[in-house]
Structures are given as C-alpha cells and as structure tokens.
C-alpha cells in the first residue's frame, strides 16, 4: 500500500466517523438531512394520492437515497480499521437494515417501506450537535432502566402467563363466539384489555364473560403500578447516587445539587460535572 | 405631553394591570366574568339547536365581547410603559389570540370558535384573588417539570421514532388494508395504541399484525412508566430541597415540615414561608 | 320528661349509634346485611328477565327496605342529642339519600335505582368490625391526598382549560362532522382522549384532525404522570414522617420500621403503635 | 416396609422434588418442555383451521400429556413424605388443576382448554435453573406488594362502591338504553371506563350522560395514581431497607450499593449478599 492511499482511508475515516473537523461535521449534517428527506419520500409514497401521480419521481428519489446510503455503507466498511467490529456493532446493523428493504422489494412487494428504520441512524445527531447534556440524561435513564431490567422481566413473564390463563378462560366462557374465536385471539384480547388499550373490536357478550373481563381490567389497572413503581424507585436511587458522587475537592463534602457551582460547605468552586 | 394626560395613562395602567386598588380588583373580576360568559356564548353557538333559534343574539353577544376585549387590548397597549415588551409577552399574545378569530371568521368560516383560547386569560385569576398558595404549588410543579424537561424530550424523541418504525411495519404487514392505508395513518394508529387510548377505528386483522400490535401495547405499557418515574423522582427531590431551605434562624436546624410554625429543635418561631 | 323516657332515648342511642354493646354490634351487622340485600334487590329489579317475572316481589322488597331504613332514619334523629348536627353530617345526608329515591320514584320514573347510594353507609363497617388497621391505612392515604389536594386542583384546572381549547380546535378542524357536532361534544371527545379511555365513538377523520388528536394523546400520556408523581412524592413524605414519629421512649431514637417491637438502638420495648 | 421399597420412594422423591442431582434436573427440564408443548397443542386445537384437519393427532397429544401429568401427580403424592401437605400446597393444587379439565371435558364441552393453567407450573423453572437472582427480585416485589396489600384492598373497595353508584346513575340517566340495559351492565361500563380501558361497546348518548361519563373518567384518571403511589412509596422503603441491612462486618458501616463488593468506608470485603 502506498502512503497516499493510506491517507485517503484515514481522511475518509475522519470525515465519516469523526465529528471534530468541519468536514466531518458537514458530512454528518448532510447525512441527517438526507435521512429525514428519504423517510419523508417513503411516507409520501405510501399515500395513495401522491403515489399515483408522482410514482416515477418518488421511486427515483427512493433509489437515489438507497444508492447514496449503500455507497456510504461501503465507504464506512472500507475506511474503518476494525471492519468486522463495525459491521456487527449496533450502528453497523442499523446502517445495513436502512438500505436492505429497497433491494428486497425487488422480490417481495411493499417491503421497501421498512427503510424508515434508517430513522434510528439519526441518534447520531446527539454526537454531532454536541448534545452531550441530552446524552447524559439518556444515560441516567438507561442506568435506571438497566438496574430495574430483571424486575421488569419477572413482571413481563407474569403478565404473559396471566394473559394466557385469562385468554383460555374467556375462550371457554364465550364459547368461541363474539370474536373470541381461538385461544391466541383471546390472548390478544387479554393483552388489549390489561394494558388498558381497549380497542373494542372483541368484547365479551355473556354475563360471566363481562365479570371475568372486569376482573382482568382491575388486575391490569393495579399491575400498571408495578413497572412504574420499579422504575421510579430505581430512578430515585440513581438521583441520590448522583448527588453523593458530586464531591467537593477541598472539604470532600457531598450532597450538592446537580446545578451547584460552589461547595455549600466551604465555598470552594466545584469541578465541572463530567459529561457522560 | 400634559401632566393630566400622564395621569390618565397611569390611572389606566393601575386599574388594568394592577390588582392592589379596589378599581383594579373590580376591573379584573369583571374581565374574568366576561371571559367565562363569552366562552359560554361561543359554546352555545356551536350547538345546532341553539344556533338556529338564537343566531342573531349569539352573534351580537360574540361581537360585543370581541369589541370589548379589543378595546381592552388597545388600552393595555396604550397605557403600558414598555409596549413592545407587553405585546410579545405570554399574556400579550394570548390577549391578541383571544380576539383575532372573530375578525378572521369574516374571511374563513367557523374559525371564530377558536376564541375559547381566551380561557387562558383566566390564569390571571391567580393574581387577582391572591391565590398565592396555589401559585406556589404550581411553581413547585413547574420547577419539577422544568428539571425533568430534557429527560422528557429525550423520551418523546424515542416515542416518535418508535411510532414511525412500528407504523411502517404494520403498514407492510397488514398490506395497506384494514385502515392501515398509509404510513402516516399507521403512525396515527401506533400513537393511539402505545398511549393506550385505543379507539378501535383501526385494528389489526392478520395474525402477524396482532402479534406486532401486542408487542406495541406491552412496549407502551412499560414506557408509560418512564415519564411518571422521571417526574416523581424530580418532585421528590424538590420536596426534599424545600425542607432543607426551610431553616431555623436561631439554631440553623433544617428539615422542618412544610407547615411547621416552630423549630423542632429549639422551639424558636420559624419565619413565615415566602410565597413564590 | 320522665326518667323512663330518657332511658328509652339513651338506650336507642346506645344501640343505634354505639358499637360497644352486643345489642349495638348486632344492630349494625343487621343493618349492613339489609343494605347489601336491598342493593341486590334493586340490581335484580333492573334486569329485564327478573323484573318481568318477579316485579311484585321485588317491588315489595324494595318498599320493605325503604320503610325499614326510613324508620331507622327517624329513630336516629329522635335519639341523637344534637339532631341538627347529625342531619347535616356526612352520614346524616347519606342516610337521607338512601331512602329518598324510592319516594321520588312515585313522581319521577326509574329514579328509585339511585338507592344504591346506600352502599356508602357500609363504610360504617369499619367502625363495627373494629377494622381499625384498615382505617389507619385509609388515614395515611387521606393525609397524603389532602396534602396534595391543592396541587391536584391546579392540575385539574389546567386539564379542563386544555380540554376546552383542544375541543374547539377539533370542532373547527373536523368542520362539525364525524361526531364533533358541537364544542361541548368535542370537549367530551378530548376528555375521552387525554384520559386515554378512547371509546372510539367519535374519531377524527381528517389528516389535520389526526395530527391534533395525536398531540392530544401524547399530552395526556405525559400529564398522566403529574397526579401520580404528586401523590407518590407526598406518600413518600408521609411514610418518612411516620418513621420519625415512632420514637423509642428510652433513648429517643427514631426511624424504626413500622412493624418494629423493640428499639433498634437500645433494645427497649417500643410502645404499641397508636391506631388512628 | 422393606428397606428396598423405602429406597424407591426416596429415589423418586429426590428425582421429582429435588433439583440438585443430574436426574432431578433432567426430570424438571423434561417436565417444563412437556408443559410448553402441551400448552402449544391446546392452542393449536383452539384454531379452527388446525382443529379440523389434525383433530385426531391433537386429541391424542392432549390425552398423552394429560395421562403423563396424571401419572406424575400420582407419583408425587406417592413419594412425598407429607402427602396431605403437598396436596393442599400451592403447587399441589396447580398440579391437580393442570390435569382436571381434560377429564371434565368428557362431561362439559370445551372445558379442556383450561389446561393452560399448567403454565403456572413453569414457575418451578426458577428453582431448576438456579435463577435465584430473579427470585430475589420477585421477592423484593412481593414484599413491597404485601406491605401495601391492605392499602390496595381499601382502594379496591372504594373503586367497587364508586362503580356501583356511577353505574346506577348512568342506568337512570340513559333510561336503560344505549347499552345501559341494567345496573350490572352499567357497572361493567363504569369499570371499563374508570380503568381507562374504554372498549366503546357501550357509550353514553345523552348530554347529561356524557357529563357524568367525563366525571367518571377524570375520577379514574386521578385514582389511577393511588395504587402506583402506594406501591412506589413502599418499594422505595424496601430499597432503603435493603441498603441498611447490607452492613460491613469490620466497621459496621451501612448504606452500601446493592452491587458493592468492598466496604466504602474501610475497604473491607463485604459478605456475599444472601440470596432469598
């Protein structure tokens, strides 16, 4: 390999993956606008009134963006030092899923609409616009959610078992009629009910069915409290932990407000809060 | 300018913007009753049965109140020392929006019903009736909401991206039928579903659609916990901060109840809590 | 007044209002069963199938219970020392409302079904069965709710203003069609939507209407957090206050668990927790 | 009894109830897979398309599993030392309910679908796969729920009384029409409404009915806060108690994070957290 070629690769890497240089910033901004425009194109394409009249233009635009993102995906693979790692990373997979549907639509109709998944690529906007404070918030949330992850899994297991038992019960009680045509369908109804969504496409008609449905609703109503309770308690703990971590370098006092600039015990200036 | 004219302006300012003099109080009370009556008139006007029979009277009443509020708006601009600042303030904009619809209805039909926005002017009632304790509560709430603002923004961004991805998925799975006629329509369905509103005007009919819908509901069910958790945790912190701020002037002990009158450590009388 | 007559009055008072003597307990238990049976009678009466066949018996039962409760109401007024105070008390009003509908039904049809309000009289069960621990819980809840009362009032005011503004907006946007036939009707739709009930009897059909509806839902979704957050934070404070109140008589240490029997600092036996 | 026979019984007990030996583990894993497969069979059987074509095979599979679980149930009774205690235990009852429906279906049609209740047996998976950490989480949740049990009972009593009063009111107001055909039916509607499920199969049509319905919704909207608030506050207390219990053996300092390995005060290694 010649040194010039090395430089091209490095230059591309800096522009495509980096955000510190003007070129890198510009690239990311163009990318984000392209994503929004391409998603808008797909949405318009799904609207009958537009699709009929502007079919040709919308199709062209869709292919233009898909080819553009495909080239970008190829360049990313080319210029990253650890290719395989990028390909298997969260963003690597999203980048691939963001172009695949258009190609697959040549074989399977309509699947091209799934390209809206490229919206997830916009999460990069945080990195670009130095919205670090937002990321920090997301971080706090993520930590609280991770801390309560296992509790929430236990909770969802319970909900699914409950939904199955209630579903079978309603299937038997309503005698397979009134929309409760099978156990899976009745489970669907139970989930619609205990999550308090309540479409009303399937509703109990028998007296016993209505009583069981009322029980299912009250159950749903009270278990809605569980995930909220779990997350709130964990978030509370996180906020307290935040405070304790924020210590004064002079007197080592802790417990400062999140927005404090001076130590409330000795008046010493506090260190800037580290972002992320 | 003559001194008399100055006085008129100042007098008007005191009556219209002030709430301390009997005249100022009376003015605000009359204003608030006028707002309630005018909103009632608009509501009656929207009811077919009344609109047909009393069209003339209702129309007259509507114009009467609009002219009244227009004169008031003009006087407010006239008598305030910093005109431009008032016009651009929250109340200035509301005051304008409260009269505009009636005039615009001369060109665009039905838009006059939007005058109900003048209800927002009633927020002034807090100032008038010295309902400072309520304002203090609203203040505590506002502070907690502001503190969790960014977290909630991150949360809503996530919800919208999720709604778009789920929407496109349902559009493809249900094949554009059963109400899922376009991606925007499917996004509308997703929002109806994950907020657990569940109208039932659009419901999945295919098995795969029902499974994805169940996932969307359970997702919605668990993320409903996030804003509640955020706000509750922040509110908790606010209530604790309140306590800490409420310090005894004699022994500097903190942590008194919100309604404490005497220090619980040395019995000294506590200062009255500052309102706002 | 003769002393014998005094005794009758006092005896009645002890039996009807008291719960300590066997006669008083028996009276209250009979009363509670009568209430449940009479409510069951009214419910059966509202069912077409029963009403047709057993009209006579159900009617007789209804009048039997109404006369019974009327006699009881008269006796209560007769034997209580402070008559006017009883009549205007919470239970006094409930006791009257529990018999009125049957009499009013002679003039206004169907109104007799409102006698189910006598269910509220069963709240006396707490007093009778010495379910003081339950009352204590209810007390803790009540204190937390009272503490957050003003915050919740501010909150409901905001919700109603919001519902009116959204309602008028939808009335204008949907052009008075698709069920949005008047502003009050649109306000009803807005309340159905932002409380996430979502019947689906009225749904937006225009694109703009769907966008505004989505906004209303997301608003409702996020403000559902407000009352929960308020109450949870207050309840937290109440539970902490509970702990602090539970002090050791020997070492004055505080912060014992609610179910602690011995002081965790000095091992001294803690006083029994006072109920109520 | 001969010693050999003792050994068979003991061996069975170890395999069926124990989870420490390879045989015991294998038995439990086979059992869990059997349960999942048998539930899948019942679900397929409830789907018309499958039921018609594969009736014979599905029926055979159902009976195969029922006989299998019956034999297992008999063996469990046979080999457990305290038979009566097992039969009356939670798992003993579930084990019986998991086979009964198939036999009862010989007399009462369709009831066989209730065998899905055998899903509850899978809760044993926790014991088998040593998912103790999950159990610990479930334990924390259970403790918090138990601690708030009485508060939630008080709450549900209130909801039911409220539903009855609102139900009777709507029955009278809507005049027995628009789906409000009886008081029990109206109570069903009230529960559907205040739990914010909102099917829309029954909706108020009169103006007064809509106003009362709006009140019911706002009531439901605000009382949804109560169970969430209760549970969150209790969970908070539980998490704090957890911390306090986790004391350092060297300096007796408390308040360590749940995942701390070393004492944050003296650096001593902390004892492993006891599971369950």
How far is Cα B208 from Cα A62, in angstroms, rounded to an integer?
A: 27
The end-to-end CA distance of chain A, in Å, is: 38
The residue extents of the domains of chain D are 3-130, 133-245, 247-276
* B47, B187, B232: residue with CB nearest C229: B232
Please write down the HEC assignment for all residues of chain A. CCHHHHHHHHHHHHHHHCCCCHHHHHHHHHHHHHHHHHHHHHHHHHCHHHHHHHHHHHHHHHHHHHHHHHHHHHHHHHHCCCHHHHHHCHHHHHHHHCCHHHHHCCCCCCHHHHHHHHHHHHHHHHHHCCCHHHHHHHHHHHHHHHHCHHHHHHHHHHHHHHHHHHHHHHHHHCCCCCCCCCHHHHHHHHHHHHCCCCCCCCCCCCHHHHHHHHHHHHHHHHHCHHHHHHHHHHHHHHHHHHHHHCCCCCCCCCCCCCCCCECCCCCCECCCCCCC
Distance to chain D for C217, nearest Cα, Å: 13
CA dihedral B114, B115, B119, B125 (to 10 degrees): 160
Q: How many CB atoms lie within 10 A of CB D22?
A: 8
Q: Which of D144, D147, D229 to mutate to test the interface with C (most CBs of C within 10 A)?
A: D229
Q: Output D30 or B271, whichever has higher pLDDT.
A: D30
- Write out the two tokens for D149: 């049990």
For residue D262, list its beta bridge partners: D269
pLDDT at C122: 74
How far is Cα C234 from Cα A235, in angstroms, rounded to an integer?
A: 17
Q: What is the percent of chain D where pLDDT is above 90?
A: 17
**pTM, 2 dp:** 0.82
Specify whether domain A133-245 bears CATH 3.30.530.20: no
pLDDT classification of A275: cutoffs 50, 70, 90: very low
pLDDT classification of D68: cutoffs 50, 70, 90: very high
Distance to chain A for D170, nearest Cα, Å: 18
Contact residues for A250 (Cβ-Cβ < 8 A; gap 6+): A263, A266, A268
Taking a C-beta distance cutoff of 8 angstroms, is the pair B13, B81 a contact?
A: yes
Q: What are the distances in angstroms from CA C46 to CA A17, C63, C118, C120?
A: 72, 15, 16, 20
- Mean pLDDT (whole number) for D232-244: 70
- State pLDDT tens for residues D111-169: 888 888 888 877 666 555 555 555 566 677 677 777 777 777 777 777 888 899 899 99
pLDDT at D66: 92
All residues of chain B having their beta carbon less than 8 Å from the beta carbon of residue A110 are 171-172, 175-176
Taking a C-beta distance cutoff of 8 angstroms, is the pair A255, B255 a contact?
A: no
Are D229 and C224 an interchain contact pair (Cβ–Cβ within 8 Å)? no
How far is Cα C74 from Cα C87, in angstroms, rounded to an integer?
A: 11
CA A175 to chain centre: 40
Are B196 and D196 an interchain contact pair (Cβ–Cβ within 8 Å)? yes
Distance to chain B for C38, nearest Cα, Å: 37
Angle between helices B207-223 and B225-245 (to 10 degrees): 0
- Mean pLDDT (whole number) for D53-72: 90
How far is Cα A3 from Cα B152, in angstroms, rounded to an integer?
A: 49
Which CATH entry fits the domain spanning C3-130: 3.40.50.720, 1.10.3720.10, 1.20.120.350, 3.40.50.20? Answer: 1.20.120.350
Q: How many CB atoms lie within 10 A of CB B152?
A: 18
For residue A269, list its beta bridge partners: A262
DSSP H helical segments within chain D, as ranges? Answer: 3-17, 22-46, 48-79, 83-88, 90-97, 100-104, 125-128, 132-147, 149-173, 183-194, 207-223, 225-245
Mean pLDDT, chain D, as a whole number? 79
How far is Cα C194 from Cα B228, in angstroms, rounded to an integer?
A: 15
Closest C-alpha to C163, from C132, C184, C141, C137: C184
Are C214 and B46 an interchain contact pair (Cβ–Cβ within 8 Å)? no
Q: Is the pLDDT of residue A221 over 60?
A: yes
Mean pLDDT, chain A, as a whole number? 79
How far is Cα A181 from Cα D246, in angstroms, rounded to an integer?
A: 53
Which residue, chain included where needed, has tokens 């008075």? C176
pLDDT classification of A48: cutoffs 50, 70, 90: confident
- Reduced to 3 states (helix: H, G, I; strand: E, B; else coil), residue B198 is coil
pLDDT at C247: 58
Taking a C-beta distance cutoff of 8 angstroms, is the pair C68, C91 a contact?
A: no
CA dihedral C22, C26, C32, C36 (to 10 degrees): 150
Taking a C-beta distance cutoff of 8 angstroms, is the pair C242, C139 a contact?
A: no
pLDDT at C170: 92
pLDDT classification of D275: cutoffs 50, 70, 90: very low
Range of lowest pLDDT (A177-181, B117-121, C5-9, D78-82): C5-9
Ordered DSSP codes for chain C: --HHHHHHHHHHHHHHH--SSHHHHHHHHHHHHHHHHHHHHHHHHHSHHHHHHHHHHHHHHHHHHHHHHHHHHHHHHHH-SSHHHHHHSHHHHHHHHTTHHHHHTTTSTTGGGGGGGGGGGGGGHHHHTT-HHHHHHHHHHHHHHHHTHHHHHHHHHHHHHHHHHHHHHHHHHTTT-TT--SHHHHHHHHHHHHTT----SS---SHHHHHHHHHHHHHHHHHTHHHHHHHHHHHHHHHHHHHHH---TTT------TT--B-TTT-PBPPPPPP-
Q: Which residues of chain B have pLDDT under 50?
A: 1-2, 274-276
All residues of chain C having their beta carbon less than 8 Å from the beta carbon of residue A200 are 199-200
- Write out the two tokens for C45: 């009466």
pLDDT at B161: 86
All residues of chain B having their beta carbon less than 8 Å from the beta carbon of residue D232 are 232
Q: What is the ipTM of this complex?
A: 0.79
The answer for D89, left when phi > 0, alpha when psi is -120 to 50, beta otherwise, is beta
Interface of A with C (CB under 8 A): 196-200, 228, 232
- State pLDDT tens for residues D245-254: 555 666 655 5
* D151, D200, D222: residue with CB nearest C200: D200
Q: Which of C199, C233, C236 to mutate to test the interface with B (most CBs of B within 10 A)?
A: C233
How many Cβ contacts (< 8 angstroms) between chains A and C?
Answer: 9
Closest C-alpha to B219, from B194, B199, B198, B196: B194
Which residue, chain included where needed, has tokens 């009169």? D206
Are C200 and A199 an interchain contact pair (Cβ–Cβ within 8 Å)? yes
- State pLDDT tens for residues A100-136: 888 988 888 778 888 888 888 776 665 555 555 555 6
Q: Chain D residue closest to B236 (CA)? A: D233
Report which secondary-structure segment, H or E, holds B158: helix B149-173
Are B233 and A227 an interchain contact pair (Cβ–Cβ within 8 Å)? no
Q: Is the pLDDT of residue A241 over 60?
A: yes
Residue count of chain B: 276
- C269 phi and psi, to 5 degrees? -70, 135
- Reduced to 3 states (helix: H, G, I; strand: E, B; else coil), residue D139 is helix
Are D218 and C195 an interchain contact pair (Cβ–Cβ within 8 Å)? yes
Report which secondary-structure segment, H or E, holds B76: helix B48-79
Ordered DSSP codes for C160-216: HHHHHHHHHHHHHHTTT-TT--SHHHHHHHHHHHHTT----SS---SHHHHHHHHHH
Contacting subunits of C (3+ beta carbon pairs below 8 A)? A, B, D
Are C168 and B239 an interchain contact pair (Cβ–Cβ within 8 Å)? no
How far is Cα A203 from Cα A217, in angstroms, rounded to an integer?
A: 12
Report which secondary-structure segment, H or E, holds B69: helix B48-79
Closest C-alpha to C199, from D135, A45, B199: B199
The end-to-end CA distance of chain D, in Å, is: 38
* D120, D192, D228: residue with CB nearest A161: D120
Q: What is the pLDDT along chain C (276 residues), one digit of tens a residue?
A: 445 556 788 888 888 887 778 888 888 888 888 998 999 988 888 888 777 788 888 889 989 999 999 999 999 998 888 888 888 888 888 889 888 888 988 888 778 888 888 888 776 665 555 555 555 666 776 777 777 777 777 777 878 888 998 999 999 898 877 889 889 999 999 999 998 899 999 999 998 999 999 999 988 877 777 777 777 777 777 776 665 555 566 665 555 555 566 666 666 676 655 432
- Write out the two tokens for C260: 């602690």
Contacting subunits of D (3+ beta carbon pairs below 8 A)? A, B, C
pLDDT classification of A274: cutoffs 50, 70, 90: very low
Distance to chain C for A242, nearest Cα, Å: 19
CA A146 to chain centre: 15
* B198, B228, B232: residue with CB nearest D198: B198
């Amino acid at each position: 390999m010649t040194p010039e070629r090395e430089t091209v690769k490095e230059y591309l890497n800096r522009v495509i993956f980096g955000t510190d240089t003007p070129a890198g910033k510009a690239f990311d901004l163009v990318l984000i606008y392209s994503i929004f425009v391409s998603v808008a194109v797909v949405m318009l394409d799904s609207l009958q009134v537009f699709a009929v009249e502007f079919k040709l233009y919308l199709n062209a635009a869709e292919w233009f963006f898909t080819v553009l993102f495909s080239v970008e995906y190829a360049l990313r693979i080319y210029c990253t030092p650890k290719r395989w790692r990028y390909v298997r990373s969260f963003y690597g997979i999203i980048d691939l899923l963001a172009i695949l549907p258009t190609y697959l639509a040549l074989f399977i109709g309509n699947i091209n609409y799934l390209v809206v998944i490229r919206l997830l690529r916009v999460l990069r906007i945080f990195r670009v616009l130095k919205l670090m404070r937002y990321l920090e918030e997301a971080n706090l949330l993520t930590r609280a959610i991770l801390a309560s992850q296992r509790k929430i899994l236990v909770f969802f297991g319970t909900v699914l078992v409950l939904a199955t038992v209630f579903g079978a019960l309603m299937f038997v009680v309503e005698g397979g009629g009134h929309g409760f045509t099978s156990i899976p369908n009745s489970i669907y109804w139970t989930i619609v009910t205990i999550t308090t969504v309540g479409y009303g496409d399937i509703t109990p008609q028998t007296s016993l069915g209505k009583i069981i449905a009322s029980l299912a609703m009250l159950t749903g109503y009270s278990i809605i409290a569980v995930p909220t309770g779990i997350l709130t308690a964990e978030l509370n703990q996180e906020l307290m932990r935040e405070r304790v971590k924020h210590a004064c370098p002079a007197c080592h006092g802790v417990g400062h407000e999140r927005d404090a600039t001076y130590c409330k015990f000795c008046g010493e200036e506090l260190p800037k809060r580290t972002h992320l």
